[in-house]
Amino acid sequence: MSTEKYQAIMKDTFGPLSHLSPPIGREREINDATTLLHRSDVRLLTLTGPGGVGKTRLALQVAEKVSHEFTHGVRYVSLAAVFNPEMVIPTIAQALDLVGIEETPLFERVKIYLRERSLLLVLDNFEQVVDAALLLIDLFTSCPQIKMLVTSRERLHLRNEYAFELLPLTLPNLDGELQPDELAHNAAVELFVQSARASNPNFALTPSNARTVAEICIRLDGLPLALELAAVRTKLLSPQLLLQRMNHRLQILVTGARDLPKRQQTLRETLDWSYDLLTPQEQRLFRNLSVFIGGCTLAAAEVVSQATQQVDDDILTLIGSLVDKNLLRVVSSKNGEERLQMLETIHEYGQDCLLQATDAETVYAAHASYYLALALQAQPEFFRAELGTWLDRLEQEHDNMRAALQWLLENERWSEVLQMESALWRFWLIRDHQEEGDHWLERTLTTLRQISTDEQERQIGSPLLASAYYAAGVMADSRGLYQRSMERWEESLRLYRASADFSGIASTLNKLGTVYIRQDPSQAHAYYEEGLAIARQHGDAYSEAAALASMADDAFSVAHFEQAKQLCEESLAISRRLQDIRSIAYRLSDLGQIMANLGNYTRAHALLTESLNIHREIKDRLGIAFALIPLGMVTLYLGDEAIPHTLLEDYLTSTPQDEIGNRNQVAQYLGSLGEIALHQKKEKEQFAARALLEESLAIFRQLGNEEEMASKLFALGTIEFGEGKFFQAYTLLSESLTISQKHANRMMTSASYYMLGQVEAHKGNFSVAYNYIEQSLHILREIGDRWLISSRIIQLGLVAMNQGNNAHAQELCDEGIKIAREIGDRRQIADALNVLAVLYISKKEYMRAEEVLAECRALSDYQTTCYCVADQGMLALRQGQAEQARPFIEQALSMALHTRNHWYVASCLERLAIVMAMQDNIPQAIYAWAAAETIRKTILAPVPPIEYDIYEQTMSKAKASIDERQFQMLWLEGQQMTPAQVLSLEKQSHESATTAIPPAVTQATMTTPPSEPLFTDELTGRELEVLRYLARGLTSVKIADELCISPRTVQAHLRSIYSKIGVATRSAATRYAIEHRLT
């Protein structure tokens, strides 16, 4: 029906309200209400809902739709101006045109008039005359053909009444990108936009304001009156400015249409109308319940309200009344427990009423007291099987906890503040609220430090202060603020010692050990041992298990896996005895990782699976992620390459997307899994690492989580560096550095400087490289992180060596090895020995180089083994032993190809060329040199100075031994060969002891350029996958299905692809893929 026709009918029937347009977004409600009125057994239908929800407009639309079914039509009766129940019948009579004075009582005349009529009576705004409801029963009894459609803010509670609750409009979903065309179909947004255009004809929903408009609609609860009042403001305020003022909605939502009733011209007047209709007892309870943030349980409402309610108040009945009057809602929480909630607009009004009340402070104190008690009740549950249930409960009450803590702080109730913070820190840690927990604790402790130490301890007591400092240390440590965590734990230890709290002493010593392990391992071990001894002496099994777990982690970090296994098994046994379910789960995960490193993947899989099952049972979301990370890698080792994504999908299914912090945890899961794969240095894991890290980075970009972006950019930059893609590595690492500096993250800043130095060194820019690595070292020295210092010093030594300063290089290598040995990290010792061996080779101290390389190989992981083997080959070459060098260099080249390390592939090809040239196999030497040069030109990396002399000498001799024209022909052929082809050909030649090149090989593998993708290294691996699927015609949803990622992530990848290849459409991107041989 057109708006014009609708308003014509409305004018005939409803007179003054005929100007109202049909309600927006109410199609389902109109149909449902109409269906009810069609039923013969429904004679009284009451539309209920809060003020401003649109009851009148919906009633008029429903009445218009059913009007043809009533012979005598529809009569509208407005009761907005009627406050005396006795005036209801006279008002109905006036609407029926029953005027004049007669002997027959007015009510009888109304009944006589309606008795034979088929008519729908619309009674609007019945809430203030609800005591007249019984009169309606008499009307129904006397007038069998009439029906009534009533609007009221509360039910009439009559027999045979059908109540129809009208809820606010459906709200938009803020997840992902908000497209204006899609958003415009949301009912709340549609009403806001339509109302805004009535006030400002130029208003439009655009990509730049779509999210803001959606947020405005959410902040206004989808309440039609509020949306219309807010939309009027768009004549003066942009959506962005309007949203900024939404913290005080009631001040904004004024100046409604003049022809509306006065109670609907501002939202406050609408709510005043509802509030004034409440009894004094109901008003008091309404104010009291406004103290809750995000709702409350029935138990909480009863306890807090008892602080000010009268003794004879029946709180349950009063709550029911507020629910009936639509000032309060009953909703079911995720655990099935019913909660009481207010719409935010009503809640803001209620808080204003509470602040004006004389008993406000009593209510706030009762609220704080209740949630402090709840926090203390939860504290011991962190070590029990019901942990998951309690975490969910604390999450649900998080806003109330915040409000209670804020009130306690403002009123300087320090003992209660510290009790609450000490009770909640494990919740903050497990549920990824570390930054918030850190804020609360530091704010409290900073304020308390203004009081003398003696006064603090007198007012609060050492044990409670010690507990707070301990919690503050945990929060700081979880955020990577190691210096601050150390300071907090040292103060905690002092206070625990002062109060002879041996459990606290043991726990804090263990935590201090985890900090000192990075800068003073001997002190860390002393802390571990003392904490373990105290725990055992005083029978503190929890602290004993924790100390053993930390010692196991320390042993694991330096690759002492058998020792780590023994300690972890001992800790696990204690936790099982205590039935400390969460610690059991974490120790199982730790032990699974240890077994994986020992090569027992089957046992590791069983342990990690058991850990995962426990974490799921107690609903520890972070624990689930931590179990899935190594489990995903173990399944890779067991041969199932698809399982990491299967596990992720399982995680996403079991953990709803709307839970707080969940998307960050998903991204952290992906990133951590990728980083573990990255460190395996194997081809299969490298592919997994790239895909997982890129997925993680895409999510963090969507979330705007810059610090996590920096971490994943760094990891991806490391992958690109490892594959010799220095331009891409430099871009990623530079962005990581910029973000890390912005957020003052010194550890990530140091790491980014270090890797940028590595990139510049491999490109031959040694002065720049030295500066980067030196800055990285300076930061580590400032923060006292000895764990990583040796790696920086050793790399400075390698750079100095390439600058020709062997004396300085020797000093740096000696210092680096000394620190690495003190730390005891086998991998760092191996890296340091490898660089020292290179130095000895360059100094022609070959026997010392041989000894160092032997020790290096005994300690090396996969990547360092590659370097050691290659340098063993170089050592033989420097001594003129080509045949002894050959197997070492062939092995190193195979390993470099396996890890896709382009820079080292080039270096190994050059060394292999020297072997072949020394054995007079000149053609194949030229092939190898040419193939290496192709790689170096691609990655912009010259031959390093420490290798240039033997490279230049050998090539000059080779060029001199053949004709220049022949040399050029062989060089061109070699440029078209892949490294694998060079290696295969060299092995065939060596096995047949001939330098001849088989004709078939020449024709098939050298003269015809390989059909490989053109150079597209500016696109990441995952972006190439997305582009290939796009070129095949797949939609974003189909691509998401193929890659096991979300459609939003596909869109994020496509935006990045379009930007990098300079296109704006799918068809252009498809053409690019075809032209670059990606299909």
**Which CATH fold topology does 3-165 show?**
Rossmann fold (3.40.50)
Nearest C-alpha neighbor of 400 from the set 375, 437, 428: 375
pLDDT, tens digit (0-9, with 9 covering 90-100), for 698-719: 766 766 768 778 888 888 888 8
SS3 state of residue 122 = strand
pLDDT, tens digit (0-9, with 9 covering 90-100), for 418-431: 999 999 999 998 88
Are the CB atoms for 886 and 908 separated by under 8 Å?
Answer: no
In Å, the largest CA–CA distance within the chain is 136
Q: Where are the alpha helices (DSSP H) in 860-944?
A: 862-878, 882-899, 902-918, 922-939
**Cα(169)–Cα(187) distance, integer angstroms:** 6
| Predicted confidence (pLDDT) at residue 194 exceeds the cutoff of 70 | yes
Specify the CATH number of the domain 1021-1075.
Answer: 1.10.10.10
Nearest C-alpha neighbor of 371 from the set 398, 341, 348, 389: 398
Of residues 984 and 190, the one with the higher pLDDT is 190
SS3 state of residue 165 = strand
Token pair in block for residue 123: 């009674």
**Cα(289)–Cα(287) distance, integer angstroms:** 6
At position 620, the amino acid (one-letter code) is D
- Containing H/E element for 74? strand 74-78
Q: Provide the β-strand partners of residue 124.
A: 78
**Cα(20)–Cα(780) distance, integer angstroms:** 70
SS3 state of residue 870 = helix
**Cα(493)–Cα(506) distance, integer angstroms:** 9
- The beta-strand segments (E) located in 280-328 are 296-297
Q: Provide the β-strand partners of residue 814.
A: none
**Cα(215)–Cα(190) distance, integer angstroms:** 13
DSSP 703-724: HT-HHHHHHHHHHHHHHHHHTT
Nearest C-alpha neighbor of 864 from the set 829, 840, 894, 889: 829
Q: What is the DSSP letter of 884?
A: H
DSSP 1009-1023: PP------TTS-HHH
As a whole number, mean pLDDT of residues 633-652 equals 57
Question: Which of 117-121, 171-175, 680-684, 846-850 bottoms out in mean pLDDT, i.e. has the lowest?
Answer: 680-684
Contacts of 143 (CB under 8 A, 6+ apart): 111, 114, 115, 117
pLDDT band at 369 (very low <50, low <70, confident <90, very high): very high
| Predicted confidence (pLDDT) at residue 471 exceeds the cutoff of 90 | yes
Q: What is the DSSP letter of 387?
A: H
Ranges 7-16, 808-817, 1023-1032, most confident: 808-817
Kindly state the percentage of the chain with pLDDT values over 70.
83
| Predicted confidence (pLDDT) at residue 865 exceeds the cutoff of 70 | yes
Q: C-alpha 353: how far from its chain's center?
A: 37
Annotated domain spans of the chain: 3-165, 180-257, 861-1000, 1021-1075
Are the CB atoms for 485 and 477 separated by under 8 Å?
Answer: yes
**Cα(887)–Cα(845) distance, integer angstroms:** 22
Distances (CA, A) of 253 to 39, 249, 268, 728: 39, 6, 8, 52
**Cα(961)–Cα(959) distance, integer angstroms:** 5
**Cα(6)–Cα(19) distance, integer angstroms:** 10
Q: What is the pLDDT of residue 667?
A: 46
**Cα(416)–Cα(461) distance, integer angstroms:** 12
SS (H, E, C) 392-440: HHHHHCHHHHHHHHHHHHHCCCHHHHHHHHHHHHHHHHHCCCHHHHHHH
Token pair in block for residue 132: 């007249």
Of residues 636 and 667, the one with the higher pLDDT is 636
Backbone torsion region of residue 734, taken as left when φ is above 0, otherwise alpha when ψ lies between -120 and 50, otherwise beta = alpha
pTM above 0.75, yes or no: no
**Cα(509)–Cα(565) distance, integer angstroms:** 22
Tokens 């992720």, residue?
Answer: 648
SS3 state of residue 152 = strand
What average pLDDT does the chain have? 82
Q: What is the pLDDT of residue 258?
A: 45
Q: What is the DSSP letter of 325?
A: T
Question: Which of 715-719, 887-891, 944-948 bottoms out in mean pLDDT, i.e. has the lowest?
Answer: 715-719
CATH of 861-1000, one of 1.10.3470, 3.40.50, 1.10.287, 1.25.40: 1.25.40
| Predicted confidence (pLDDT) at residue 722 exceeds the cutoff of 80 | no
Tokens 């020792």, residue?
Answer: 563
Cα-flanking dihedrals φ and ψ of residue 150, to 5°?
Answer: -115, 140
| Predicted confidence (pLDDT) at residue 254 exceeds the cutoff of 60 | no
Q: What is the pLDDT of residue 150?
A: 95
Q: What is the pLDDT of residue 684?
A: 46
| Predicted confidence (pLDDT) at residue 644 exceeds the cutoff of 60 | no
